[in-house]
């Protein structure tokens, strides 16, 4: 059906307020008012990334002050750490064997190995009659030695020179203690050199870890060489043995022991 303005052009123009326009102009304006169909686009618009993601990408690899952040060191796996400790143990064992067997100076490994399992006998010291030799445990305190030395020098009826001496631990215990001591040096060196690959807890407390390792290895080595020995000789005669009695000497033991070699302990002033 034809539009109304085509049937009654003058009336339609007057109603629409376009009395001065021709029919052709009205048709052109109507066509302009019709919405144009959108032409299909070949490519879809690229979706914009959220602003938060853009900020994250820009700040990646930068520290709080804007400088380039250093990459975090890769931590060593437990298997790697175990392999390093095993390597240190192997090196320490070989070093202890070489140093204790004296193989570099012509020592025999077989003779040294046999001595590890032989009965531990400490020979008596070769000293004159006026010398009192006291052999005590190297890892024990020397408080008891100081007390007995003062007693002998102040109360003995015969002047005696008191000489301290260390009581050697069994060879096998010394061998194990040497391994622990060398392991201590190697492990501390490992903490200093490869500290960046260690777990974060150790990296942040490196000095505490080194101090703790030093204390633990010293205690372990001391426990291996501890014999609780306290042997008293006058000349080459043994007057008291803590190894045989399994206890420390008291005053009566000292009086009887020195009396057996002709030395009296005078208790009255």
Q: What is the pLDDT of residues 37-68, one digit of tens each?
A: 555 555 555 555 555 555 445 555 555 555 55
Closest CA to 93 of 179, 217, 184: 179
Cross-strand pairs, 240: 232
Q: For residues 263, 255, 269 and 131, what is the CA-based torsion angle, rounded to 10 degrees? A: 40
Spatial CB neighbours of 229, under 8 Å, sequence gap ≥ 6 = 135, 136, 137, 167, 242, 243
- pLDDT tier for residue 197 given thresholds of 50, 70 and 90: confident
Q: What is the pLDDT of residues 101-122, one digit of tens each?
A: 877 777 778 888 888 888 788 8
Cross-strand pairs, 237: 234
Cα 27 to Cα 31, 36, 134: the distances in Å are 6, 16, 132
The pLDDT score that the predictor gives to residue 269 is: 59
């Amino acid at each position: 059906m034809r539009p109304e303005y085509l049937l009654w052009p003058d009336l339609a123009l007057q109603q629409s307020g376009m009395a001065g326009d021709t029919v052709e102009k009205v048709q052109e304006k109507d066509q302009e008012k019709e919405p144009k169909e959108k032409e299909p686009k070949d490519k879809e618009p690229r979706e914009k990334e959220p602003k938060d993601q853009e900020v994250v990408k820009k700040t990646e690899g930068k520290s709080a002050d804007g400088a380039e952040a250093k990459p975090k060191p890769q931590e060593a796996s437990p298997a790697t750490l175990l392999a390093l400790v095993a390597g240190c143990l192997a090196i320490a064992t070989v070093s202890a064997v070489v140093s204790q067997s004296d193989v570099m100076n012509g020592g025999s490994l077989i003779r040294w190995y046999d001595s590890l399992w032989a009965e531990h006998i400490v020979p008596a010291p070769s000293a004159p009659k006026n010398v009192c030799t006291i052999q005590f445990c190297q890892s024990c305190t020397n408080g008891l030695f100081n007390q007995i030395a003062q007693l002998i020098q102040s109360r003995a009826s015969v002047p005696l020179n008191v000489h301290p001496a260390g009581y050697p631990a069994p060879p096998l215990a010394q061998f194990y203690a040497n391994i622990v001591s060398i392991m201590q040096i190697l492990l501390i060196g490992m903490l200093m050199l490869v500290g960046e690959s260690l777990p974060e807890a150790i990296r942040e407390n490196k000095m505490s870890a080194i101090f703790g390792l030093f204390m633990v290895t010293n205690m372990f080595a001391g426990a291996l060489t501890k014999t609780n020995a306290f042997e008293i000789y006058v000349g080459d005669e043994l007057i008291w043995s803590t190894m045989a009695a399994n206890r420390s000497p008291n005053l009566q033991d000292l009086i009887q022991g020195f009396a057996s070699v002709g030395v009296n302990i005078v208790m009255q002033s």
